[in-house]
Structures are given as C-alpha cells and as structure tokens.
Structure 1
Amino acid sequence: MNKYSICFIIFFFLFLFSGLNFLFLIYFLMNNLVFFLEWEIISFNSMVITMSILLDWMSLLFMMFVSLISSVVIYYSKSYMSSEMNLFRFIYLVFLFVVSMILLIISPNIISILLGWDGLGLVSYCLVIYYQNLKSYNAGMLTALSNRIGDVLILMVICWIMNYGSWNYIFYLNFMNNDFSMKMVGMLIIMAAMTKSAQIPFSSWLPAAMAAPTPVSALVHSSTLVTAGVYLLIRFNMLLVNMFFFKILLLLSMLTMFMAGISANYEFDLKKIIALSTLSQLGLMMSILSMGMPDLAFFHLLTHAMFKALLFMCAGVIIHMMNDMQDIRYMGGISLYVPLTCLCMNISNMALCGIPFLAGFYSKDLILELVSFSNLNLMVFLLYYISTGLTMFYSLRLYMYLMVNDFNLLSIYNLYDEDYTMLKSMIVLLFMSIISGSFLSWMIFYYPYMIYLPFNMKMMVIYVIIIGAFMGYLISNMNIFSVNKFIMSYNLSMFLCMMWFMPNLSTYGLSYNILNFSQGLMKNIDLGWSEVYSGLGLFNMVKSYSIIYNIYQLNNFKIYLFSFVLWMMIFFIMLLLF
C-alpha cells in the first residue's frame, strides 16, 4: 500500500464517520435522547473498572465537526506533505491525535478523560517536533511542559473525586455546588483547562506550537488540542457557577483576548498571526463561559473551528507558493496568482471578524449583545469591544500585506497556481464557513434570541469593525517603526510585541529555572548524598568488608599471629591503665 492510498483510506473513513455522526445527531435531537453506555472491564471485590461513553447532542455534534475537519486536513496533507519521506508516520500521528480528541469528547469518566487529555499532549509533542531542528525541539518542550501542568491537575481531580466513590463525574454535577470538595475539583478543572486552552499565564506555548507542519496547525488550532480545555469546562459548567475563581477566569481570559489582539498587530510571521487570532478567540470562548453561557461558548467553538482550519490551509498554500517564506513583508499582490486561495482566505478572515451572515457573525454578534445585557463593569465591556476591533485591525493589516501591497520577494520567482487537491479540501471548509453559523444557530438554540438594545448599542459591533478596519488600513501603509516613534517608546512596543514578555518568562524564567533546579537536585541528591548513603555507599561498604573477610578466609598464619599480638598489647595496656 503506497503512502497516498493510506491518506485516502483514512480521509474516507473519517468523512464517513462525520456523516454518520450527523445522522445520529439529527435522530438524537428530534427524539431528545441521551445514551450512557458502560462496559465493565474488571470487577475485583468492591473495586470496579469500567469504560463509559456518553452520547448526547453535544458530543455527537462536536465529534462530527472534529472528524470532518480532520478528514479534510488529511486529504490536504496528501498534497502538502507529498515530498515528505515519512508520510505514513505523519498520517498515523494525526489519526492518533483525532482518536485522542474523540476519546476526550465522549468520556463522562474522569479516568478516560485523562487518557484522551494525555494522548493529546503526547501526540502534539510528537507533531510539534516533526521537523527535527533546534527551534522545533524547543517549541515541543515548551508545549509538553505547559500541558504537563494540566495533566497533573487532572490527576489531582481523580484523587479528589474518589470521595464520591466513582469517577463518573456526570452523575454528581447537580449537587456539586454545595460541597467544598467539589469546589476544589472545580478550581483544579479550571486551572487544567487554562493550561490546555493557553490562557494567561500559560499562553506562550500556543504561538510556539507553530513549528509543526501547517496541516497540524490547522487541526490543533481549530477543533482539537486548544478546544479541549473549553470543552471540559462546558461539560463541568454546572459546577462552576457562582465561584470566586470563575471571576478570576473572566479577568484572565479577557486579558488573553486583549493581549493576543495587540500582539498579532506587531507580528510579521503569517502563521503566528493566525495563531494569535486563535488565542484571542479562545479568550472570547473562556470569558463567555465564565459568564455562565456554555451553549454560546460551544456555538462559537464550532463556528470558529471551521473558518480557522480554512485560514491555516490558505496560509499553507501561500507558504508553499512563496518557497517556504512566512514573513508577510515579502508578500503582496498574491491575489493575481492564487485567486481561489485568496478568495477562501478573505472569506475565512471575514468570518473571523464577524462580517454579517458568515459563520463567525452568528456566534460573535450574539455574544457581544449578551455582554451588553450583562451587569458586569465597564472594563469588561470595553475589553470585549476593543478586542473585537483588534480582530478587524490585524485581519485587514494581513489582507493589505498579502493581497494589496507590492510583491516584495527579493529574487525573481515563479509563482504557481493552486494545487487541486488542496483546493478541493479548502472548498469543503469554505462552504461550511459560510453556512455553519446559521444552521448551528437553528440546531443548538430551541428558540430564537430576540435582543432589544438602543440603536447605538446594537450598532456597536459595526462601529468597532469599521474603526478596526480603518486603523488596520492606516497601519499597513506605514512603517511600524515610524508609528512607534510617534505613539510609544521602543520598550513599550517591545513589551506589546513580545506577548507581554510571556514567552521569556515561561521559557527562561519558569521552564529553564525549573529544569536547572531539577538538574541540581539530581546531581546533589540522586547522584550525591542519596548515592553515598544508599546505593554506592552500601556497595563500597559491603565491598570493603568482603575484601577483609576474604583475607581472613585465606587462613593466612601471619594475619592470625598479628591479630593475636595486637589483642595481647591492647590487653596489657588496659591492665596497666586500670
């Protein structure tokens, strides 16, 4: 079996699985069904180990989206990774990644959630270091260490939830609010979700994970790894109402959204700009979740998955065309050479910005209008709308750099047209980016939201979009350094550009120091005192005693004579002293 046929088989299997999930979803929604399946693996005395599966409209809908996006990404990889020697390895890793995510989605049991959670972390490490160079290894280590924190917190949740006698958390959600131990579980779940979904202070791994191949980025940043934390909190949402820690989550997620929006305007790496936009949207999902609206968070998670995967695929085609160049300052006028890719990219960008009647509009507009209704303070209100404006800001800046400005690649270069394999997979997601918002809003919400606001409040989204677009247009026509000269100092612009110094803090401040500290512990304790007093020390003592006993066992007369004389001398000295 050649490498292209395995691509097609896995693509076909996942696409078929997505279709089956859609049919089951319609059946479950029409009959209002929830299936809880439990398979008893082993029963020993009072201990029972079971495998549980929860099938309801939410898990089926999410599985449908994950399998659809992953099938399209694998079909796209057939062309994108065609020159790759180890395409088998790549496809199997991506498939393993999808299986881990599906295990996480259908699990009502915290043990099987850990299996999926840990599988995502492990496979993502393998995919980030796929291109074997120093930058990829550093990025992979940062990703793995950040995700390990979440794994440890999930293990602590497993210990805490044993108070209830079972790991099926789904049964305890209704009465969890009144119990201190369950508040503890809630706090640990929130922190674990923050590590996986890259909220402040764990944000630095997400742009670093761009070292992975572009199809992996399309999968990771749309529907799998980064959404795992959001999905877990949606499942635990009953537990998380009226908690003080939830208000802290609201603050941190809004700061994440704001920080990612600003950093994206300073970035020149095409993939990192899209990664920072993912970070901004994750902040939006987390913040609306912390305001007690899990359905809206789930709605935005699904619509975002479609246009973000499409955006990464378009970026992959452009990077290929530019001879693996990712710096947007070298690009410009590419709409003349790859018109269909640019069409897909523009529509996905517009969906990201919330342009009316595309996928992102239905979820984003609803979220912002419900925020206008909420009784939260002015800071929350301003951060929401400023972050929405910043989304338009960096999207239009990207559009100007890629498609309007002059082509700046320094050498004479032959630009080729699109690859049809990539185009077919992109057109599937293009279709979904246009229609998914409307059909999900009919499917998820049983009744339409009718939101009445004053005219200016209702038009606030349009206002910030227009202001953001105008600012993006201005900035893209100026040199960024000349803007900084007039607006802010070099140090402040460096602070904003470097994600508030978070990569430096997590890499050099946290990971580097922790690794150095653990190396010191290993040298001083494992290879030092512990070795002297246990392993090596015991070995040396037994060795010296055995040498002495060996000499005695040789029955050497001189030794016995010497020891006899020695003992007699000691005896006479004792007699003289006493």
Structure 2
Amino acid sequence: MVYFMLFQYLFVLLWVGFLMLMLYFLLLFFFNIGSFSFYKKIQKMYKWGILSIFFMSFFSLVFGGFVNYVLFQETRLWLMNSPLLHMDTGSMVFFSFALFVSWSIMNFGVDYMSDEKGVGYFLGYLILFLFFMFFLVFSGSFMVLFIGWEGVGLLSFLLISWWGYRMEAVSGSMQAVIYNRVGDAGLLLFLVMYLILGNSLFLGESLVMSVLFFLFVLGVLAKSSQFLFHPWLPNAMEGPTPVSSLLHSSTMVVAGVYLLMRCMSMFSISFMVFVVGLLSCVLGGVFGFSQFDFKKVVAYSTTSQLGFMMMMLGLGFTGYCMLYMMAHAFFKAMIFMMSGVVIHMAGGAQDFRGMNTMILLNNLMSFLYVMGALVMMGLPFLSAFWIKDLVLEETNFSYLGMTFWFFFGIAIVLTSLYSMRLYFGLFEAFIFNQKKLMMGKSLVNFYSYIRLFLGSVGVGLLFFMYYGPMGHILMTSGTKMFGLIVLVLGVLVSFFLIKFSGFGFYKLGYLLYYNPLAHKFSGGFFYKISEYTILLDFIFMEYFFSGGIFYTRGVVSSMRVFLFFLFIFLMLSTL
C-alpha cells in the first residue's frame, strides 16, 4: 500500500513536471514569434529551444506508457468525448516521435538556411506548424481536430512557397492547397452532418452513411497524397529541404493515416481503404521508377509507403501501422535531408541524370542513403522488416492472402528498383561512365543524420518492447523467404538494367509516357484523322458560322423576297 501511494505521488510529480514543460514550450514558442527579426543575435536561443523540443519528446514518450492506464482511458469511439484535448498512449507516442524527428530537422534547418534572409520567420513557421500539429494529434473532438487540420494546411502553403521568387515553388504550394481543399471540403461536410446527427451517425448502415464515410475518407486521402490526390506531393518538393523533411516524412502527410487509424473502429470501410492503399502503393512505385528528379523520386516513394500503411489499416493492423509510421518518419526524413545537401553540392540541379557523381570525400552520405533505402525495402533485421514480415505472416491464411502477397511483392520490387536506380545514378558512374566531384559542403549537422539513422535502424526494438514475444505461425520456408527473395530480385534487376543497358532506365521510364512501337503504327493513323478533323472543322465553322451565316442570311432574304412576289402573283392570278 505504501509503495502504491509513493507511486501515485511520483506520478503526480511527473504530471506536474510535464505540464510545466508544456508551459515552457508554449512560452518559448511565443518568445520565438516575438523575436524573428533578432535571429542573428540570438541563435543560441533557437538552439536551446530546439533542444527543449527533444526533452519534451523524450518525456512524453516515457510518460505515454503510463497515461493509458492511470489518468486517461482509451475508448472505442475516439473523438466522440467531450474534452477538447484527449491524451492516450497512441497520441503521446506518435507526437513524441514527431518531436524527436523535428528536433533533428530543425537543427539541420538552422545550418541549412543560415544564409537565407528571414530565417527567423522560417523557423517560427516550423514551430507554429508543430503547434497546430499538437492540436491535430491530441484533439478530443472533431471541432478541435479541424482547427489543427486547417492550421497544418495553411502553414504548409506558407512553408512550401517560402521561396516566393520561384514560380515552381508558388505553383507547387497552390497545387497542394487546391488538392487539399477538395479533401477538406469532404471532411467539412462530414463534420456538418456529425453536428446535425450526433453519435447516431455511426449507428446502422445506409446509403447516406456510406456517402458520409466516403467524404471522411476523401479528406484522409487528400491529406496523405493517396490515389487520385498524389500529384500535389511531388510538386511540393520545390520548397526548402527542411520543409520537405518535416512535412512529408512524419507530420503532414501521415496526419491523414493517423486520423484514419484512430477512427478506423467507427467505420465499416476496411475494403475501400485496402483497395485505395493498394493502388497508391503500386502506382507510387511506378511513378517513382519513371522520374528523374531526385526529390520527386523520394516524394513518390512517400506516396507508395503511405499506401502500404493504408493497406495495413484495411487489413486491421493498426498497431503495425503505428510502428511502421515511426520507422518511416526516421528513414524518410534522413533521405530528404540528404537530398537537399546533394542538390546544393550539385549547384542546384535536381535531375540526377546530369549528376552521375561519385562523392569521393563523403562516403558517409552514400552509406546513409543505402541504409535508408534498405530499411525502406525491408532488409532483414532492420526496422521495417519486423513489421512487413509479421504482416505477411498474419495475411498468409486470410481471404486476401494471395492478393496481398502478389501486390506486396510488386511493391517491394518497385521499391528496390527506384531506390537502387537512384543510388547508381547519384553515387556510381554506371550510366554515363564518368565521375564528378561535387563542390560544396558535405553533411550539414552530422549528428542530426546519426540520430535519424539510429532511429530508423533501432525503432524495430520498440516493436518487441510493445508487443512482447510473438506466437508461432506455421509457414513453409519458401513463403517465409518471400520478402527477401523479391527484395533481392528488385536489386539485381536494377543493377543489371543500369549496368548493361546504358540508358536502360531512361528508356523504361520514357516508355511509361511514350511508347515508340505503338506510336510508329498509330501515329500516322491519328495524324490523318487530325488532318481531316481540322479540315472539317474549318469548313464547318468557316462556312456555316462566319461567312456561312452571312451567306445563309442573304439566301434567306432572297427566298423571302421570292416568296413574297410569288404570293402576289398567285393572288393576282386568282382574280
């Protein structure tokens, strides 16, 4: 009894300390906003503030293990509770990992944007973005959720269009806003119906509820750049690299998946989510395979990985989805940060066909990229492997088992193809048989990369800490080795294509948009059709609608005069 009371007092002290740390973070946030113009004089204040984000993330991660059992209680109908803010294990763990990644990204951003004007405003926007992300993650009602949802969208527009003198950045930010507006409109209609119907909205099944659930999923798909909404994410890569690293790895794009994960038990839309995730996973890999822009390849890989998370949600693996989301945040942020450094060292060029570089003085960069790509592909004993392997085991005897395995194999092959294609194009001189030494800085803020690397490799240990010992699942050796086999197959195919076919990847990527064999036979046919169409359009429009109308008017007038005189003649003849 005494130990239990001591534990309670200790927990209360931890809770008070957590609230004080939150207050400190908010005060620091407002202090940062009030001191944008003094950034050059108070750089240390920003670095201490960024360090406080780390301590907050560490404390919230430790505290998140107790919050579900002691103070708060998770309910099935998440977001149906009366409090404005709702904290449980899932939200605390998610936000703690987001803050940990943000700590590394903002440390990177301080050095990366040091030569830019108004960098204080830039970091302030990033902190304000995290502030709205806090409301989105810890929202206890749909109204608070929508505030965070809209705030994240607004700040994403400001951050992506930070370089306003570049038309590509402005158009990319506008495209992101337009695509997200469609999803936000669907989510807003869902909220209006929720206010009208209340909790009865989730009782029973009807066509109206199916439409409303579709509107909810529409908002999720637009925010997470899924199928039919995927074009905005690659174009948003025109913003600064810290923006791409933060928004498109662990915060904004995963917000839709996170919301769907928390609300999945309310809706009967598992099959719809699975199909959309499957299409996004495969098509994201195909589009990434056919791109030549470094950052767009990474962006389409994000769409593909988010599609895999949606597939896991459709199959009911919400816990696995959360863990994969954490691993994805680490390795994708590391790859995005590295892409910005490579682009700077290449003089601003983003087309890796013109780079073909062998970075002789910085082998660590190629090592980090290879490790991030291997984690993403699911190499055994790295973080993503534990989750992907367990999903394969769980789906081995399900009704979607063979379908999932087939498309999962395609997704892994495509992931291996575009990852190794990018590696061989950047760090090896296989395509053009030349080597160039890029000029500029090497890795900016070395420790930021190391933290993300250790997180991307070691977050799999959290899997066993969270789930404990696994049960025994009977599988044959062939099915157990399926993931490794398709991974090695993708790596070998990419190596042989780019090693022995020269422009092989260029041709294959080009075929996705223009097929010379098909156009050789169909080009002349369609050319003749277009000629005849233009001729007919010219005759029709020119004769009947310009000069033709004038001519027709004259003919009609002449006929009218002729008929008038004919009528007079007939009248006179009858007399």
Q: Which TM-score bucket, shorter chain as reference?
A: 0.7 to 0.9
1:150 aligns with 2:177: no
In the TM superposition, residue 247 of structure 1 has moved relative to its aligned partner by 2.3
Which residue of 2 is the match for residue 448 of structure 1?
Answer: 470
**What amino acid sits opposite 2:204 in the alignment?**
N
Task: Give the whole-Å Cα distance in 2 for the aligned partners of 1:291 and 1:315.
Answer: 33
Q: In the alignment, which of 79, 82, 89 is matched to residue 121 of structure 2? A: 89
Q: In the alignment, which of 192, 202, 205 is matched to residue 176 of structure 1? A: 202
Cα pair distance change 1:288/1:177, threshold 3 Å: farther
Within 5 Å, which residues of 2 pair with 1:97-496?
Answer: 97-132=129-164, 133-165=166-198, 176=202, 178-180=204-206, 183-241=210-268, 243=269, 246-376=270-400, 378-405=402-429, 415-416=439-440, 418-419=442-443, 422-443=445-466, 445=467, 447-477=469-499, 491=513
**For the Cα contact (< 8 Å) 1:157–1:189, is it kept in 2?**
yes
Cα pair distance change 1:478/1:275, threshold 3 Å: farther
Task: Give the whole-Å Cα distance in 2 for the aligned partners of 1:486 and 1:396.
Answer: 15
In the TM superposition, residue 369 of structure 1 has moved relative to its aligned partner by 2.9
**For the Cα contact (< 8 Å) 2:282–2:304, is it kept in 1?**
yes
In the TM superposition, residue 264 of structure 1 has moved relative to its aligned partner by 1.4
Residues 304-313 or 405-414, more deviating: 405-414
**For the Cα contact (< 8 Å) 1:10–1:71, is it kept in 2?**
no
**What amino acid sits opposite 1:275 in the alignment?**
A
Cα pair distance change 1:372/1:335, threshold 3 Å: farther
1:2 aligns with 2:34: no
SS in 2 for 1:53: coil
Task: Give the whole-Å Cα distance in 2 for the aligned partners of 1:398 and 1:267.
Answer: 10
Task: Give the whole-Å Cα distance in 1 for the aligned partners of 2:214 and 2:302.
Answer: 24
Task: Give the whole-Å Cα distance in 1 for the aligned partners of 2:354 and 2:510.
Answer: 26
**For the Cα contact (< 8 Å) 1:186–1:239, is it kept in 2?**
no
Cα pair distance change 1:229/1:485, threshold 3 Å: closer
Task: Give the whole-Å Cα distance in 2 for the aligned partners of 1:410 and 1:457.
Answer: 42
SS in 1 for 2:353: helix
**For the Cα contact (< 8 Å) 1:72–1:425, is it kept in 2?**
yes
**What amino acid sits opposite 1:435 in the alignment?**
G
In the TM superposition, residue 453 of structure 1 has moved relative to its aligned partner by 1.5
In the TM superposition, residue 146 of structure 1 has moved relative to its aligned partner by 0.7
Task: Give the whole-Å Cα distance in 1 for the aligned partners of 2:432 and 2:135.
Answer: 46
**For the Cα contact (< 8 Å) 2:288–2:297, is it kept in 1?**
yes
**For the Cα contact (< 8 Å) 1:206–1:275, is it kept in 2?**
yes
In the TM superposition, residue 309 of structure 1 has moved relative to its aligned partner by 0.6
**For the Cα contact (< 8 Å) 1:332–1:401, is it kept in 2?**
yes
1:77-104 Cα shifts (integer Å, max 9, x gaps)? 1111111011011101111111111211
1:138-168 Cα shifts (integer Å, max 9, x gaps)? 1111100111112212211221112455xxx
Residues 485-494 or 80-89, more deviating: 485-494
Task: Give the whole-Å Cα distance in 2 for the aligned partners of 1:192 and 1:437.
Answer: 30
RMSD of aligned C-alpha atoms?
2.9
**What amino acid sits opposite 1:398 in the alignment?**
L
**For the Cα contact (< 8 Å) 2:429–2:435, is it kept in 1?**
no
Task: Give the whole-Å Cα distance in 1 for the aligned partners of 2:349 and 2:433.
Answer: 9
SS in 1 for 2:442: coil
Task: Give the whole-Å Cα distance in 2 for the aligned partners of 1:446 and 1:486.
Answer: 45
SS in 2 for 1:54: coil
Cα pair distance change 1:306/1:483, threshold 3 Å: closer
1:17 aligns with 2:52: no
1:55-114 Cα shifts (integer Å, max 9, x gaps)? 111000001011111111111011111110110111011111111112111012000110
Task: Give the whole-Å Cα distance in 1 for the aligned partners of 2:494 and 2:434.
Answer: 25
Task: Give the whole-Å Cα distance in 1 for the aligned partners of 2:439 and 2:133.
Answer: 38
SS in 2 for 1:336: coil
1:379-422 Cα shifts (integer Å, max 9, x gaps)? 44311211111111111111211222269799986634534x52
Which residue of 2 is the match for residue 563 of structure 1?
Answer: none
* TM-score when normalising by structure 1: 0.75
**For the Cα contact (< 8 Å) 1:196–1:226, is it kept in 2?**
yes
Task: Give the whole-Å Cα distance in 2 for the aligned partners of 1:117 and 1:100.
Answer: 7
Task: Give the whole-Å Cα distance in 1 for the aligned partners of 2:506 and 2:109.
Answer: 40
SS in 2 for 1:397: helix
SS in 2 for 1:267: coil
Task: Give the whole-Å Cα distance in 2 for the aligned partners of 1:301 and 1:491.
Answer: 32
In the TM superposition, residue 229 of structure 1 has moved relative to its aligned partner by 0.7
Unaligned runs of 5+ in 1: 38-48, 166-171, 495-578
**For the Cα contact (< 8 Å) 2:58–2:96, is it kept in 1?**
yes
**What amino acid sits opposite 2:190 in the alignment?**
V
In the TM superposition, residue 328 of structure 1 has moved relative to its aligned partner by 1.4
Cα pair distance change 1:91/1:376, threshold 3 Å: same
Task: Give the whole-Å Cα distance in 2 for the aligned partners of 1:202 and 1:484.
Answer: 26
In the TM superposition, residue 335 of structure 1 has moved relative to its aligned partner by 4.1
The percent of aligned pairs where both chains have the same amino acid is 28
**What amino acid sits opposite 2:273 in the alignment?**
L
SS in 2 for 1:258: helix
Cα pair distance change 1:293/1:406, threshold 3 Å: closer
SS in 2 for 1:217: helix
Task: Give the whole-Å Cα distance in 1 for the aligned partners of 2:222 and 2:74.
Answer: 29
Task: Give the whole-Å Cα distance in 2 for the aligned partners of 1:316 and 1:97.
Answer: 21
1:466-487 Cα shifts (integer Å, max 9, x gaps)? 1100111122225675567699
SS in 1 for 2:439: coil
Task: Give the whole-Å Cα distance in 2 for the aligned partners of 1:72 and 1:126.
Answer: 21
Task: Give the whole-Å Cα distance in 1 for the aligned partners of 2:417 and 2:88.
Answer: 39
In the TM superposition, residue 177 of structure 1 has moved relative to its aligned partner by 5.2
SS in 1 for 2:265: coil
Task: Give the whole-Å Cα distance in 1 for the aligned partners of 2:472 and 2:492.
Answer: 30
Unaligned runs of 5+ in 2: 1-37, 76-80, 517-575
Task: Give the whole-Å Cα distance in 2 for the aligned partners of 1:349 and 1:377.
Answer: 26
1:26 aligns with 2:65: yes
Task: Give the whole-Å Cα distance in 1 for the aligned partners of 2:388 and 2:515.
Answer: 29
Cα pair distance change 1:27/1:334, threshold 3 Å: farther
**For the Cα contact (< 8 Å) 1:34–1:57, is it kept in 2?**
no
Task: Give the whole-Å Cα distance in 1 for the aligned partners of 2:106 and 2:398.
Answer: 42
Task: Give the whole-Å Cα distance in 2 for the aligned partners of 1:461 and 1:291.
Answer: 18
Task: Give the whole-Å Cα distance in 2 for the aligned partners of 1:378 and 1:480.
Answer: 36
Cα pair distance change 1:480/1:103, threshold 3 Å: farther
